[in-house]
Amino acid sequence: MSKKQILITGAASGIGQGIAFFLAKNGHHIIVSDMNLEHAQKTVDEIIQQGGSAQAVKLNVTSSEDVNNLVAALNKPIDVLINNAGIQHVESLDSFPMDKWDFLIQVMLVGVARLTQAVLPNMKSQNFGRVINIGSLHALVASPYKSAYIAAKHGLLGFSKTIALEVAQNNITINTLCPAYVLTPLVEKQIAAQAKEHDMSEEMVINDIMLKPMPKKAFIEIDELAASCEFLISDFSKNITAQAIALDGGWTAQ
């Protein structure tokens, strides 16, 4: 596979960071973007120490100015966009702050549209592009107390399918990876929040809520997502587009 310039959002920690490490080891140049530039730079430093190629940028995906300035400043077009930035808030709708509800949608749905819009012109001009959205099992199913997150992820699927159809003739594919729970700092915070909402122990949240619907009873590993990204970047997947790809241990088969 030829080496690609890859922009990953929310790449200073968790899933985004893991994908950055994995793809950098395979020779791609990684643009590590995050709201926290210091943490993004630490990720870049580690990639470079391991012999990889990367740069850190501060990026607020809710800002059109930030997004457009980043794309304009790059000396080489983005070949692959991995929309990973995400946040979570667990609370019943009765008391869910609407400003927070709106912010989740801005980050995980509008922000994806904003970045995709910004990179598509160059992808079209070079007749190649890959957009990979890190969705969630909750793009396919629902569970209580996560209305904003689930609404954003369900919307992400509709957005991805629509744009995939619009750019299919330009050798651009757009797909969404939908993992069940991945043990990241974001999920660890969810465990504590759900324990509070359900009035149960954190161990019970893991066993009775998170892993119970999964026949394999195991968290998804970040490298599974990263390797899936590598496959979707390759020519072997050039006709896979507009798809929601579940990494769920059989959850949605039931």
The confidence score (pLDDT) of residue 4 equals: 98
Q: Which of 54, 9, 1, 49 is nearest to 33 (CA)?
A: 9
Tens digit of each residue's pLDDT (9 = 90 or more) over 62-121: 999 999 999 999 989 999 999 999 999 989 999 999 999 999 999 999 999 999 999 999
Q: Are 61 and 9 in contact (CB under 8 A)?
A: yes
10 pLDDT higher than 90:
yes
Tens digit of each residue's pLDDT (9 = 90 or more) over 201-228: 999 999 998 899 989 899 999 999 999 9
The confidence score (pLDDT) of residue 185 equals: 78
Q: Which of 75, 72, 132, 146 is nearest to 104 (CA)?
A: 146
Angle between helices 64-73 and 111-125 (to 10 degrees): 30
Of the pLDDT bands very low, low, confident and very high (cuts 50, 70, 90), residue 2 is confident
Tens digit of each residue's pLDDT (9 = 90 or more) over 131-154: 999 999 999 999 999 999 999 999
Q: Are 234 and 167 in contact (CB under 8 A)?
A: no
198 pLDDT higher than 90:
no
The confidence score (pLDDT) of residue 187 equals: 82
Residues tagged active-site: 149
What is the share, in percent, of the chain residues with pLDDT greater than 90?
88
pTM (predicted TM-score): 0.93
The confidence score (pLDDT) of residue 192 equals: 87
**19's tokens:** 């994908």
Of the pLDDT bands very low, low, confident and very high (cuts 50, 70, 90), residue 188 is confident
Domains of the chain in start order, with CATH, are 5-180+221-247 (3.40.50.720), 182-219 (no CATH)
- CB-based contacts of 122: which residues, under 8 Å, 6+ apart? 71, 77, 78, 129
The rounded mean pLDDT for the chain is 96
46 pLDDT higher than 90:
yes
The confidence score (pLDDT) of residue 26 equals: 96
Angle between helices 14-25 and 37-49 (to 10 degrees): 30
What is the share, in percent, of the chain residues with pLDDT greater than 70?
100
Q: How many residues can be counted in the chain? A: 254
